[in-house]
């Protein structure tokens, strides 16, 4: 979260801001806090638990570590997390509906710590899920890493988008077109946009050291079209098909390579890799 709409207002998207090594180091600390919160929330996912309970747990953990939730109050958003169940894609306001065996649950959170933001998310099963749901999680998570592998200085945003789209569609799924990833760091949303689908204009956006951005494949088991519910936040698949999202904040280091900022203190990425290994 919060993935940008495809055509955000100019005032909603600050210009590209290259980060110093010191800023990236602070973002890494924020990323460790985000990982710890996600891990605790994922562990709490079970039949009978409500999204509101998961949201309260996440906020408590963030504040305990001296961080604040980036999402809460952003454009009036009322919660610390987005908790997307089944056909919900992103921006889902946590509800009181208890989770059920067989659901899949997207947990998306932003962390503001020492003046910087990171943005990250996972989708997890509730107990035993269908083979389709498990495949969707595996493909979406691996698509994230396919995109990250292309986040190198000298490449373009096209390379990230093409790697994600080709992998997802090669497995019979769809990538959402109305929402995209985004720069993140000093602000929750910055340039550049990071789509999960290709467009000729993306070849002009060359990746350079100091860029920091959220890569977040948003994948559906059916059609790519989405709609927004009456709460004006929750985005769901238009055809009611299952959806999944996995997200990391990534920095391009001075040596031109991608550095994932939202993994555990020793580089643990089990919350993402565990979905397809």
Separation of CA 186 from chain center: 17
| pLDDT tier, 2 (very low <50, low <70, confident <90, very high otherwise) | low
Judge whether 142 and 276 are in contact, CB under 8 Å: yes
Question: Tens of pLDDT along 122-147?
Answer: 999 999 999 999 999 999 999 999 99
Task: Say whether 120 sits in a helix, a strand or coil.
Answer: strand
Residues 58-76 pLDDT 10s: 999 999 999 999 999 999 9
- What average pLDDT does range 7-26 have in this prediction? 77
**What's the rounded mean pLDDT across residues 21-34?**
98
Flag whether pLDDT at 7 surpasses 60.
Answer: no
Can you tell me the distance from the alpha carbon of 6 to that of 194, in angstroms, rounded to the nearest whole number?
A: 10
Measuring CA to CA, which residue among 227, 43, 27, 35 is closest to residue 117? 27
pLDDT confidence band for 275 (50 / 70 / 90): confident
Is residue 118 predicted with pLDDT exceeding 80? yes
pLDDT digit string, tens, across residues 159-210: 999 999 999 999 999 999 999 999 999 999 999 999 999 998 898 999 999 9
Confidence of residue 5 (pLDDT cuts 50, 70, 90): low
- Looking at the chain, the whole-number percentage of residues with pLDDT higher than 90 is 91
- Kind and range of the H or E element at 60? helix 51-64
**CATH class (in words) of the domain with range 4-273:** alpha beta
Residue 276 predicted with pLDDT over 80: no
For position 1, what pLDDT does the model report?
53
* pLDDT of 10: 39
Where are the domains positioned within the chain?
4-273
**What's the pLDDT band for 13 if we cut at 50, 70, 90?**
low
């Amino acid at each position: 979260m919060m993935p940008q709409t495809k055509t955000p207002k100019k005032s909603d998207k600050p210009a590209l801001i290259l980060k110093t090594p010191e800023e990236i180091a602070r973002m890494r600390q924020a990323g460790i806090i985000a990982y710890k919160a996600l891990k605790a929330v994922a562990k709490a996912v079970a039949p009978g638990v409500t999204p509101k309970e998961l949201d309260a747990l996440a906020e408590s953990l963030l504040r305990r570590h001296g961080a604040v939730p980036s999402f809460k109050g952003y454009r009036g958003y009322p919660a610390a997390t987005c908790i997307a169940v089944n056909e919900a894609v992103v921006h889902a306001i946590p509800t009181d509906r208890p989770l059920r065996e067989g659901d899949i649950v997207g947990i998306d959170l932003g962390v503001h710590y020492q003046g910087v933001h990171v943005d990250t998310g996972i989708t997890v099963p509730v107990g035993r899920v269908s083979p389709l749901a498990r495949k969707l999680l595996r493909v979406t998570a691996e698509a994230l890493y396919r995109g990250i592998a292309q986040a190198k200085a000298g490449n373009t945003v096209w390379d990230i988008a093409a790697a994600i789209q080709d992998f997802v569609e090669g497995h019979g799924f769809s990538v959402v077109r109305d929402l995209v990833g985004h720069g993140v760091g000093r602000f929750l949303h910055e340039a550049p946009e990071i789509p999960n689908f290709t467009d000729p204009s993306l070849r002009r956006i060359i990746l350079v050291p100091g860029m920091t951005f959220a890569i977040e494949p948003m994948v559906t088991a059916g059609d790519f079209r989405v709609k927004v519910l009456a709460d004006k936040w929750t985005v769901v698949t238009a055809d009611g098909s299952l959806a999944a999202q996995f997200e990391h904040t990534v920095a391009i280091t001075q040596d031109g390579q991608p550095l994932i900022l939202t993994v555990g203190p020793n580089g643990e990425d089990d919350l993402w890799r565990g979905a397809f290994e």
